[in-house]
Structure 1
Amino acid sequence: MSGKPSSSLLQGGLGVAGLLCLGLLWWLGVHLFGSPDGLSARFSPEATLASLVELLGRAELYEHLLVSLKRILVGLLLALLIGVPLGLLIGSYRPLEAATTPAFQFLRMISPLSWMPVVVMLMGVGDQPIYFLLAFAAVWPILLNTAAGVRQLDPRWLQLSRSLSATRWETLRQVILPGVLGHVLTGVRLSIGILWIVLVPCEMLGVSAGLGYFILDTRDRLAYSELMAMVLLIGVLGFALDALARGLHRRWAHA
């Protein structure tokens, strides 16, 4: 038991060291290849951190953040509502899996961002095209992981359910859903990473709020240190969301 905390501390220390090395490379890149009085100085860690502290004191930053988090949540919920039922069906019926796998693999390989012009023409600007693009990006890991979870269910569980004369709904609720929950959570974690990457360019679709919009605003105002501060903040928030998803998955695995 005593080895686990020390191992966790060691891993945490190594992680912090890696982040410090990344920061050092950033500082060296700016100061070795840029001029102290030039444009590159606005992208330095010192200027970025000063702007980040200033931004954290502004109410507008939190308004943009809440808008972006809302879009992430809606996109993820839509992906769950579509991906989990489809994954359950595909994993349960081999003919359906054979019929849909080529089409799904084809669609999965199309970048969600390539749909941006089409979606804007059909839906206009605003939240609706963003929700569509986010759901399209997030649905595939959830769908495929759910289907894989169904295929890996222990057949003895299903046989036991049938021997007890359980209805399909009871089998789904008591056997299948608990059995695939770990795979669904894995798909959710992967989807969150994809959503966070796709969100920023999606928020450049003519909307007036969100982290992606705020980055464009800092560029237009030539506030480059604020732009770098937003890039840094987006990285920190994405890391926190991934850590939250990993924590939920770990908690379920040890439950």
Structure 2
Amino acid sequence: MDRVLLARRALAMGLGVLLFCGIWAALAAVRADLPGPLTTWHSALELFAHPFYDNGPNDKGIGWNILHSLQRVGLGFGLAALIGIPLGFILGRSPFIADLAAPIISVLRPVSPLAWLPIGLLVFQKASPASIWVIFISSLWPMVLNTADGVRQMPQEYLNVARVLQLSEWKVFTRILFPAVLPSVLTGVRLSIGVAWLVIVAAEMLTGGTGLGFWVWDEWNNLNVAHILIAIIIVGLVGLAIEQLALLAARRFDYR
């Protein structure tokens, strides 16, 4: 039964891809300036034939641009995790600190990530650190809020047992608090990494240099629409891979 269901899902997804390509081909037949699926496929084969060529700072292969974007996302996201997860535990454990931080978080959280880019350029004076700053600030809030909510929703009985056993605060954290809150932490991590990957392309378009965002903008200036479509597909596939890895981690450590 599971195999039949899996086959049906695979068939439905395959039909969905074919339908999408059919609509794409029909639009390309109407618009001469829009490359069709076959033209884009041949351009992709040429593009990935030499993905790591390097002809200078503004002319690098698609492989280098993907790696530069992933590096910025990794650095910004890593810094956000180092600060956001402990901060979430503190807010969840201390109602006073949570009330203290609530107005600041409420005001800053809805701000568009790209609105922080000029601040990053002002402080760091360079494009790459400014992009990492944007990733950091956009990744921070989901981890803070999900971790804090997970701490607040933890059953009080767990902490009562810890008090009876007279466990130290460190043992309460490592033996009770962290394992119980880990699913909420991983939910915040999954949301944050998705936001980070969405934001990096727009940030790199504005800052220039290297990365997928810069590459898309450069190809637009060259009116190479096929490469822009390839970049869109690459961004989607890499984002899908990142999300699936985060989901696997969340399922692996979900003890509920």
Partner of 2:92 in structure 1? 91
Deviation per CA, 1:44-69: give whole Å up to 9, x if none: 22222211122122222211111111
Are 2:131 and 2:207, in contact at CA under 8 Å, matched by a contact in 1?
no
Q: Which amino acid aligns with 2:212?
A: L
Deviation per CA, 1:131-185: give whole Å up to 9, x if none: 1100100111111100011011111111111211111011111111111111111
Is structure 2 residue 33 aligned with structure 1 residue 39?
yes
In structure 2, what is the Cα distance between the partners aligned to 1:82 and 1:107?
16
Are 1:125 and 1:205, in contact at CA under 8 Å, matched by a contact in 2?
no
Are 1:125 and 1:207, in contact at CA under 8 Å, matched by a contact in 2?
no
Alignment of 1:125-204 (within 5 A): 125-204=126-205
SS in 1 for 2:253: helix
SS in 1 for 2:210: coil
Report the CA distance between 1:15 and its aligned residue. 3.3
Are 1:52 and 1:230, in contact at CA under 8 Å, matched by a contact in 2?
no
Deviation per CA, 1:184-237: give whole Å up to 9, x if none: 111111111111110011112444211111112212222221121111111111
User: Which residue of the other structure, out of 20, 33, 39, is the alignment partner of 2:18?
Assistant: 20
How many residues are paired up? 247
In structure 1, what is the Cα distance between the partners aligned to 2:242 and 2:11?
21
Q: Which amino acid aligns with 1:70?
A: Q
Q: Which amino acid aligns with 1:242?
A: E
Deviation per CA, 1:13-58: give whole Å up to 9, x if none: 4333333333332222222x41xxx322xx3222222111221222
In structure 1, what is the Cα distance between the partners aligned to 2:171 and 2:216?
49
In structure 2, what is the Cα distance between the partners aligned to 1:11 and 1:105?
41
In structure 2, what is the Cα distance between the partners aligned to 1:173 and 1:134?
29
Structure 1 window deviating more from structure 2 (181-190 vs 92-101): it is 92-101
Partner of 1:66 in structure 2? 67
SS in 2 for 1:209: coil
Cα distance change of structure 1 residues 86 and 204 upon mapping to structure 2, 3 Å threshold: same
Partner of 1:77 in structure 2? 78
Alignment of 1:165-244 (within 5 A): 165-244=166-245
Report the CA distance between 1:254 and its aligned residue. 6.5
Q: Please report the TM-score for the alignment, with normalisation by the length of structure 1.
A: 0.89
Are 1:84 and 1:184, in contact at CA under 8 Å, matched by a contact in 2?
yes
Cα distance change of structure 1 residues 108 and 13 upon mapping to structure 2, 3 Å threshold: farther
Ranges in structure 1 where 5+ consecutive residues have no aligned partner = none
Q: Which amino acid aligns with 2:67?
A: L
Cα distance change of structure 1 residues 220 and 201 upon mapping to structure 2, 3 Å threshold: same
Cα distance change of structure 1 residues 171 and 4 upon mapping to structure 2, 3 Å threshold: farther
Report the CA distance between 1:253 and its aligned residue. 2.5
Cα distance change of structure 1 residues 10 and 247 upon mapping to structure 2, 3 Å threshold: farther
Q: Please report the TM-score for the alignment, with normalisation by the length of structure 2.
A: 0.89
**Equivalent pairs: percent with the same residue?**
30
Q: Which amino acid aligns with 2:235?
A: I
Partner of 1:10 in structure 2? 8
Ranges in structure 2 where 5+ consecutive residues have no aligned partner = 53-60
Partner of 2:46 in structure 1? 54
